[in-house]
Amino acid sequence: MLVLPDPGELDRICEAIELEGLTPRAAMDWERLQYDLHREGCPDIFVVDPRMETSTQQPIGLELRKSRHTGTALMVFSAQNGELDGLPAILGEVADVVLSPNRPVGGIRKALRMLAAADSGRERYAAVSKSLQNLTPVEQKLLEVMWNQYDRPVSRDLLLYAVWGYQPNVMTRTVDTHIKRLRKKLEGAPWQIRTVRGFGYHLSRAARGDREA
């Protein structure tokens, strides 16, 4: 799925995707993207311009991340040589791959390598969810968001936006309260949630001693 407002950039990215044996679909605005998602479902890869705004005036990367399916690779496209300069830090978190329009093939191949491992990731997530049947809907969503960022720190801002729809920089203890409850339910599981001071949380594999404690 491509969401790129510049036709020249769109052509280069489409060509790179076709070279890898895939068929790209193009949507030039938020309304068209919503229509395609409703008609055809969630694709494996999104390629988006993070500057494009949605009908809610939020960057498209945040809106897609909020509703993102587990295992879906979201590639955030940048027109600045693969750098996210000048964009909110939260957009850097939602990017699995930052793609340079001048050298798109490397980014496409990196995303495909990520997708090759997605099936096992889905199986692990399904196993975790099944073994934790007492999770509330909010706890399930928190775990899903962190699983999508597995082994990478996730900011409170991103969790607030993805789970509750709050705008970044809102002062609230909502995330911390629910994380505390989720940690309790993960006791004995092979994963744990660590606090990243001044930033957010980090879901990763628990050390043997932590699991046995």
- Write down the domain spans for the chain: 2-116, 119-212
CATH fold for the domain made of 2-116: Rossmann fold (3.40.50)
Token pair listed for 136:
């509330």
Query: Contacts from 178-183 at CB under 8 Å and sequence distance 24+?
Result: 178/138, 178/139, 178/142, 179/142, 181/139, 182/135, 182/139, 182/142, 182/143
- CA 3/CA 191 separation, integer angstroms: 35
At 104 the pLDDT is 81
At 213 the pLDDT is 43
At 179 the pLDDT is 95
Mean pLDDT by 10 residues, the chain (213 residues): 65 85 80 77 74 70 63 61 61 73 80 70 66 83 80 85 76 89 87 91 76 45
CATH fold for the domain made of 119-212: Arc Repressor Mutant, subunit A (1.10.10)
Q: Which residues pair with 153 in a beta bridge?
A: 202
- What Cα–Cα distance (Å) separates residue 191 from each residue in 4, 33, 52? 37, 35, 36
Q: What is the pTM of this model?
A: 0.62
